[in-house]
Structures are given as C-alpha cells and as structure tokens.
Amino acid sequence: MAHKSRLGVLVIDCETESLDDAAAFWSETFGYRAETDAKFPEYVNLVTPDGEPRMGLQAVSHESRIHIDLETDDKEAEARRLEALGAVREADVKNWIIMRAPTGHRFCLVGPQRSNFEKNATTWSDA
C-alpha cells in the first residue's frame, strides 16, 4: 500500500479577543480576502491564489504562533511515517492528529483540503 501527503495549510494561531481584528490585519498583510463560516466562528480562511497552500487563522487559548497542517489521504499511515522520522504523536482531536517534530514544532495531520491533492501530493510507500 501507499499513501500521499503534502503541505496543506499555514495556520496562524491567534490568542485574541477578536478574531475579526486578527483577520483584518492578516488579510491586509497578505492581500488575501478573509472568509468566515458561521458554523465555525473560531476559524477564518484567507483565500490564497490557486496552487498555493491554504492559509487560515484559528482562535486559540494558548500563546499565538504559526503551525502547519499536512494534508494526507491516510492520517494513521502518515503518523507512522513521521514517527519513524522522530516525530511524536501528541493527541487526536476531532478529525486531525496533532504531532510534534523533533525540533519541538507542533503540526497537524488533516484530510485532503484542496481539489488537486491527488495530482500534487507526494506518494509514500507504506512499509
């Protein structure tokens, strides 16, 4: 078997009282339109050009930071692959897996986010 993965989303974690204010700042910084979804008020998407990774803002209760999401068609296989490289699985939350790199950086494994995932993701051989 094989699975695929690629950089999916650059997530700006915002410890803030107003995600709208944070979205206004980052939207103007990059020149990207901000999109909100009433069902998920703790998230704002910044609409990036086709072919670029997605960007998003997330309201958090921890210190502000930036993390990445890796898109994968098999989160468990990708977690095993990354654990073999030295990453540590920290938690399973909702429908993603939180990992920590050997460098201490947190990142998440999520399902495919963009329509061109199959075409542009790296294929990994599952051993």
DSSP 3-state of 49: coil
| Predicted TM-score (pTM) of this structure | 0.84
CB-CB contact of 53 with 114 (8 Å): no
What are the sequence ranges of the domains in the chain?
2-115
The string of pLDDT tens digits covering residues 54-93 is 999 999 999 999 999 999 999 999 999 999 999 999 999 9
The string of pLDDT tens digits covering residues 5-42 is 999 999 999 999 889 999 999 999 999 999 998 888 89
Give residue 52's pLDDT: 86
- State how far the alpha carbon of 59 is from the alpha carbons of 53, 63, 127, in Å: 20, 10, 38
The continuous run of DSSP H or E covering 69 comes out as strand 65-72
Place of tokens 């599952």: 126
* CATH number for the domain formed by residue range(s) 2-115: 3.10.180.10
CB-CB contact of 117 with 7 (8 Å): no
Give residue 50's pLDDT: 84
Give residue 76's pLDDT: 96
Give residue 55's pLDDT: 94
